[in-house]
Amino acid sequence: MKWYDRITSIDRRIIYMLLTVLVILPFFVNVNIPQKIMPQTQRLFDFIESVPPNDKAVMISFDYSPQTMPECHPMAQALLKHCFARGIPVIGLSFDPEAPGLALDALTRVVHEFDSLAAGKDDSLIYGVNYVYLGWKSGRIAAQLDMGESISGVYPRDYFGNLIETLPLMQKVNNYKNIAIVVILASADYPIDWIRYPQTRYGVKVGAGLTAVMAPQYYPFVQTGQVSGLMSGMKGAAEYETLVLEHGYARTLGTAETGMNSQSMIHILIMAFIILGNVGYFFSRRGKRKGTHE
Amino acid sequence: MSSDPWIWIGAVLTLMIFSFLYKDNPFYKFGEHLFVGIANGYYIVYYWQNALKPNLFEPLSAGQFIYIVPLLLGLMYFTRFIPRISWVVRIPIGFTIGWGAGLSIPAYFQADILRQLEGTVVTPATFSNPANGIWAVIILIGVVCTLIYFFFSREHKGLLGSASRLGIIFIMIGFGASFGYTVMARVSLLIGRIQFLLGPWLGFID
């Protein structure tokens, strides 16, 4: 077998082994590959920075499933830290049936972290005052449109069964007029509905945190300003974590930033394999052509 | 190493699924079937508990008989299984299409066509920042050339052919970006699993 045939027929198990080693290596060896903040992530961060404290709320639609946790869960936690540190009330909800457990996990972790650092009861985060989780709702588009009239009409009770009007935060938030931005953290095509329906009808500002697979589909909406900011995959999550840390809203980085070193190593490996594959293909084609002429 | 049985179940199932990378085997099959079964069970219970019960059966049992209308429309879908009256299924389908089209067409026009067209408009104000101006012109050329590539009423020759070939380059760049992002997404999932195995299960990392 010629060398070029050999590099085009590497056993896939060797490739998987190399991938696994390169994913694990950065967790034990100090590899620091610098990451540049992308403009769309910066735009989302800047938008949240521009929201005045204790004024309008940020609505977060948790719409990702467990398999995409490595990408979307760090986004949720970084965004929640940013909002809570700036005193912005947060209203959570979900349209993906798999998401409520993950939304509660992100909220619980971040609230616990803030409360453990709080000097007293006044500094701690209170459910119903600083944040609310409304839960899952069927009939996504109808619910999104109806919330433009009245959120309590769509969600008469929150996830825990409390009547909406008994929650102090929800007494101040009636509809989208009291919402600064809706940020959709999604592993499926949920943000497009927010752009097409509530934004078109009520002018709702939309931000997004998406899995990397979906991100290219939303760049045209960022360019036109229909999406006010976008976190793309694990990289977007890592960038938001970095921004939150740099501005003093968090004490440590999250899991996305540590995962990005593995991500960069794998990208280098994949690029090397793409080049090797193409070189092998080029030479094997030339070899075959020569063989035909001879 | 974790002493939590749930972490162990998660770790063992992860390894079962990963075993497919070597070759298909009964452990992988077990993990796959278990996942499909649990996912189906979860969705059935979830929709019953959170959609059908509160939105249909509870209002009906409270005497709100207007809910008979959506119940009947829903039941009509099942007439597909009875050939003699299968035509009835057209009623709920017609209702769904009518509602969907009425709601979607104006929204699609506004969000996907008009606003996207606006995004390609180049005005003198676009050049207030020269870099933005250059990108705006590239976007305009990209949109026009890509549309020409999908214009089949005339043979792609001469100027039309050149523009069409440029359109292909833009499409290929789009595919390349999508492929790159897909690789990044899939690798992220692997990193997530490895973080779970090394962290909560084995305790090697925080």
Beta-carbon pairs below 8 A across chains A and B = 114
Does residue B196 lie in a domain region?
A: yes
Residue range(s) defining the domain that contains residue B145? 123-206
Of A136, A226, A263, the CB nearest to B184: A263
Among all residues of chain A, which has the CA nearest to that of B39?
A: A98
**Is pLDDT above 70 for A12?**
yes
Chain-chain contact of B185 with A71 (C-beta, under 8 angstroms): yes
- Say how many domains are in chain B: 1
Does residue B204 lie in a domain region?
A: yes
**Is pLDDT above 90 for A117?**
no
Does residue B158 lie in a domain region?
A: yes
Of B22, B183, B191, the CB nearest to A262: B191
- What's the pLDDT tens digit per position in A133-154? 999 999 999 999 999 999 999 9
How confident is the model at residue B41, as a pLDDT? Answer: 96
For the domain spanning A39-253, the CATH number is: 3.40.50
pLDDT band for position B203 (50/70/90)? very high
Chain-chain contact of A213 with B181 (C-beta, under 8 angstroms): yes
| Distance (Å) from the alpha carbon of B81 to chain A's nearest alpha carbon | 26
**Is pLDDT above 90 for A90?**
yes
How confident is the model at residue A172, as a pLDDT? Answer: 94
Does residue B64 lie in a domain region?
A: no
Q: Where are the alpha helices (DSSP H) in chain A?
A: 3-8, 12-28, 39-50, 69-85, 100-117, 140-146, 151-154, 168-172, 191-194, 200-202, 215-223, 233-246, 255-293
Does residue B151 lie in a domain region?
A: yes
Q: What is the pTM of this model?
A: 0.91
How confident is the model at residue A122, as a pLDDT? Answer: 76
- What's the pLDDT tens digit per position in B144-194? 999 999 988 888 888 999 999 999 999 999 999 999 999 999 999 999 999
Instruction: Show the 3-state SS of chain B.
Output: CCCCHHHHHHHHHHHHHHHHHCCCCHHHHHHHHHHHHHHHHHHHHHHHHHHHHHHHHHHHHCCCHHHHHHHHHHHHHHHHHCHHHHHHHHHHHHHHHHHHHHHHHHHHHHHHHHHHHHHHCCCHHHHHCHHHHHHHHHHHHHHHHHHHHCCCCCCCCHHHHHHHHHHHHHHHHHHHHHHHHHHHHHHHHHHHHHHHHHHHHCCCCC
| Distance (Å) from the alpha carbon of A239 to chain B's nearest alpha carbon | 15
Does residue B200 lie in a domain region?
A: yes
**Is pLDDT above 80 for A204?**
yes
Does residue B93 lie in a domain region?
A: no
Instruction: Show the 3-state SS of A204-259.
Output: CCEEEEECCCCHHHHHHHHHCCCEEEEEEHHHHHHHHHHHHHHCCCCCCCCHHHHH
Sheet holding A90-94, edge to edge: A131-136, A90-94, A57-63, A179-186, A206-210, A227-232
Does residue B39 lie in a domain region?
A: no
pLDDT band for position B132 (50/70/90)? confident
- What's the pLDDT tens digit per position in B47-73? 999 999 999 999 999 999 999 999 999
Q: What number is the average pLDDT over the span A78-106?
A: 96
Of B188, B193, B204, the CB nearest to A71: B188
Percent of all residues in chain A with a pLDDT value above 90, rounded to a whole number: 78
Write the CB contacts of A49 (distance below 8 Å, at least 6 apart in sequence). Answer: A86, A247
Neighbour tally for A218: CB within 10 Å: 22
Interface pTM (ipTM) of the complex?
Answer: 0.87
pLDDT band for position A294 (50/70/90)? low
**Is pLDDT above 70 for A165?**
yes
